[in-house]
Amino acid sequence: MEEIRIECPKIFDYEQCLAYFKRDENEVLFEVVDQKIYRAVKIEDIKLLLCISYDRNYLIVEILNGISVTPEKVERLVAFIEEWFDFSADLSSFYQYGRKNEILRPLINELYGLRLIRIPDFFEAISWGIIGQQINLTFAYQLKKRLVEHFGDKITFENKDYYIHPTVDVISKVSVKELMDLKFSRRKAEYLIDIAKRMHSKMLSKEMLLKMKDEKEVEKALVNIRGIGPWTAHYVMMRSLGIKNAFPIGDVGLQNALKNILNLEQKPTKEQMVKLNEGWELWSSYATFYIWRAPHLKK
């Protein structure tokens, strides 16, 4: 059994991250059992079943399915996990900035060490963004589960299946009817397949967007794609591209959390959201992520 140790940043709280991972029992791509995270991943052509735990400022990564990996693939795996936990972010800078804001100050105290949990797989992030459009979270998780279980790879270990999100190669060849049979709307099925085809033909990639000069150019490139509006664009910018000042202003969960925090009678208007964002615009992505967690603090 191969074991890899990854040193964590100085500001990091594994328990806070675990609490986020545990937020919905319908998640299909990973699970938490006894303070350990289990996830199947594909590094190039090799499928690995990971067990991630924590010990004295190190993530301990065990490869459970008996695969021996080369140093190059270990490097790729470490990079994936560090991106997943957003280890490159300087939380001391965010905290110094955020503590000047009345909304963020108590959240920073409660959630100290929580990292913005990223989605390193660009197609997975876009798929989740499209799936989540205009439906409740429970149904969104159901659609994601059906998509992953029907079209994704899997590893079977000790009589349990662990799934990997389907690739653009697979979804680009799927028919609209196949997705509609899984209860996708026609439009969402078309969007997902069209984007998979675009990525398969190299017309769109994560690397391409990361080379752009600023977030405005990235947003413009994304919203020009059929099926991606401002909310999905900012969600993908925040969760997959690691852009620190993305702000999904139309996010219902964000609006409801702010309504509760501010004791408003109604959800904040777009104008109010824009004004609130001025208070944290250098770190809008982290502000959003922490505000999303606010309702869970009261449970």
Annotated catalytic residue: which of 55, 90, 194, 251?
Answer: 251
Higher-pLDDT residue of 218, 1: 218
Mean pLDDT on 216-229 = 96
The hierarchical CATH code for the domain 2-88 is 3.30.310.20
Q: Which H or E element spans position 240?
A: none
Q: Percent of the chain scored above 70 by pLDDT?
A: 99
298 — pLDDT class (breaks 50, 70, 90)? low
Q: What is the pLDDT of residues 144-202, one digit of tens each?
A: 999 999 999 999 999 999 999 999 999 999 999 999 999 999 999 999 999 999 999 99
Q: How far apart are CA 268 and CA 128, in angstroms?
A: 25
Domain boundaries, the chain: 2-88, 122-239
299 — pLDDT class (breaks 50, 70, 90)? very low
Q: Is the full-model pTM beyond 0.85?
A: yes
Q: How far apart are CA 288 and CA 277, in angstroms?
A: 9
Q: Is 13 considered catalytic here?
A: no
Q: What is the pLDDT of residues 97-122, one digit of tens each?
A: 999 999 999 999 999 999 999 999 99
Q: What is the pLDDT of residues 54-81, one digit of tens each?
A: 999 999 999 999 888 899 999 999 999 9
Q: Percent of the chain scored above 90 by pLDDT?
A: 91
Q: What is the pLDDT of residues 123-151, one digit of tens each?
A: 999 999 999 998 888 999 999 999 999 99
Spell out the CATH class of 122-239. Answer: mainly alpha
Identical fold between 2-88 and 122-239: no
Q: How far apart are CA 257 and CA 292, in angstroms?
A: 6
Q: What is the pLDDT of residues 256-285, one digit of tens each?
A: 999 999 999 999 999 999 999 999 999 999
Q: Which H or E element spans position 221?
A: helix 215-223
**DSSP string of 159-216?**
TEEEEEPPPHHHHTT--HHHHHTTT--HHHHHHHHHHHHHHHTTSS-HHHHHTSSSHH
